Amino acid sequence: MNDSLKIAIVGIPNEGKSSFVSTLAYNDGISVSSKSGETTLSSKHSLKIKSEVVYELYDTPGFDDDEGVLNYINDNKMKYSDIYELIRSFIKENTEENTFSKDIEILKVLMEKPIIIYIANSSVKYNSNFDDSLKIIKKFNLPSFIIYNQHDENKNEKVSWGDIEKKYFISSFEYNVLNSNFNNKINFLEMLEKNIQDKTIKEQLCKSIKILNKDFERRLDFTYEELSDRFYKIINHTKTYRESDLWENSIEEKEAEFISEMKSQEKSFYSLIEKEWGFNNLEKEIIELKEIEIDAKFSEKILGASKNILTVMGIIIGASIGGGIGLSVDTASFFGSMGMGTAIGTIGGASSGLISILLGTNLIKKKTKGFGIKKITTLELLKLNTKILILTKMYLFVELLSVRSHAKRDKLKFNFQESKNLFDNLFEEKYHIDIARIICEKNKEKFIEKLTEILIDNYKERNNINFKESKCN
């Protein structure tokens, strides 16, 4: 006997049934269409986590001839002991007829005795045309709920079916299918558990909630540990060349190759995380963020110096380490009215090594060291702003993906014109300095452990996630 939790999604055509199934099933491969009546067959979609079925979702078409079905039920109800025997007879008599093909698809699902979720448009008032389908569902005496789906994200109209709602359903729930996140799913399941009296179903719902909570926490742990690992590899990526290696190719070509290798790490991370969060058909448009603004307070807390002075120090120290090789800096914008002497005098007791790590001048740092007659050129990522930019972009991708409804079929657009303050907007201020210090950490194990912890805590705070506060009894 299959004792899995069963949930059937029924209702008027083109009101979001397939979309609702898609988001609950964590499956972006379920067909979703804006055309009315596109769904003609019922389909079952099981959400499995580690081979365990959390629940079975049934996507159904709309009734085609609900009046005809209801007439058959009323005309033959005295011939059969219960509604299930009656419906089995109806299906047997009409299976080969096209008249009731969609209706039979729905009836077969109702025979499985699932929880009934009736999807209605949040801005459409009750219409008497819905009467017959509601009466049919009522005959099965199953736990039934109405979900008001907000179709148009730009509209705020919300209607209630009033007495009709009370007549046919245990309770109602507002749900924006296209903006459905983890909290929405848990709240929905908790609403069902609270209002259903059947002990077995309540236990099934509680079990499902606990599994989903545990799995979501696992996803966060995996995702941010992987992000921290990839980020470490990116910002510590180096390429060293002897002069003989550069004979045929220019340093510019080596720089392009170096950048490409870093970006491939980032892109492979995106692909991995998409699959981890159940997005197998995601189209995305990722436009590079241009710059991240690090405010004066941020810099002062690190080295006790203002942003502008630290920038100048980075240029001076970078130039000395780089051996004077082709440093391309916009001195006019960096130096402003400040004198070179002022900048040098500000270094004080700060470590030149730390400053060079934090505020190197270029995306690519070129170091030339003398070893007899041989020279070595090393390419490395140095600039703090650039490192923080990469971290910000990777973190933002995860957040956008993790809160994205699987019902959405538009591109995931990653395009922020104003990115200067994005770091401040995404990360709580209390984490800023810790992040800067972690970026300077060379021990890989410590780097990953510390950064993972911060990223998870930051995510939970931003998205109001608390796994210990499940309302399920």
Share of the chain above pLDDT 70, in %: 74
Q: In this structure, what DSSP letter does residue 60 have?
A: -
pLDDT per residue as tens digits for the range 58-68: 999 989 899 99
pLDDT at residue 163 above 50? yes
Kindly report the CATH number that applies to the domain delimited by 6-180: 3.40.50.300
How much is the pTM?
A: 0.81
In sequence order, which ranges of 338-443 are alpha helices (DSSP H)?
A: 340-346, 352-359, 384-402, 422-426, 432-439
Share of the chain above pLDDT 90, in %: 50
Q: At 82, list the tokens.
A: 């219960």
More confident position, 76 or 370 = 76
Answer whether 161's CB lies under 8 Å from 120's CB: yes
Window from 28-37, 243-252, 354-363 with minimum mean pLDDT:
354-363
* CA proximity to 291, closest of 414, 356, 386, 185: 386
pLDDT at position 329 is 28
Q: Return phi, psi of residue 435, to 5°.
A: -60, -45
Domains of the chain: which residue ranges? 6-180, 219-463
Element (H, E) at 148: strand 144-149
Concatenating the DSSP letter of every residue in 355-367 gives HHHHHEEEEEEEE
Answer whether 46's CB lies under 8 Å from 4's CB: yes
Q: Any residues with CB less than 8 A from the CB of 253 and at least 6 apart, and which?
A: none
pLDDT per residue as tens digits for the range 226-247: 999 999 999 999 888 776 666 5
Q: How confident is the model at residue 252 (pLDDT cuts 50, 70, 90)?
A: confident
Q: In this structure, what DSSP letter does residue 158 have?
A: -
pLDDT at position 425 is 85
**For the chain, the helix, strand and coil percentages under 3-state DSSP, each to the nearest 5:** 50, 15, 30
Q: In this structure, what DSSP letter does residue 33 have?
A: -
Q: How confident is the model at residue 372 (pLDDT cuts 50, 70, 90)?
A: low
Q: At 383, list the tokens.
A: 């600039």
State the Cα–Cα distance between residues 143 and 192, nearest whole angstrom: 9
Q: How confident is the model at residue 335 (pLDDT cuts 50, 70, 90)?
A: very low
Paired strand residues for 118 = 10, 146
411-417 long-range Cβ contacts below 8 angstroms, 24+ apart: 411/283, 411/284, 411/285, 412/282, 412/283, 412/284, 412/285, 413/284, 413/285, 413/287, 414/284, 414/285, 414/286, 414/287, 415/285, 415/286, 415/287, 416/287, 416/289
Window from 215-224, 240-249, 262-271, 446-455 with minimum mean pLDDT:
240-249
Answer whether 186's CB lies under 8 Å from 470's CB: yes
State the Cα–Cα distance between residues 431 and 425, nearest whole angstrom: 12
* CA proximity to 407, closest of 279, 219, 284: 279
State the Cα–Cα distance between residues 154 and 151, nearest whole angstrom: 9
Q: At 26, list the tokens.
A: 């964590």
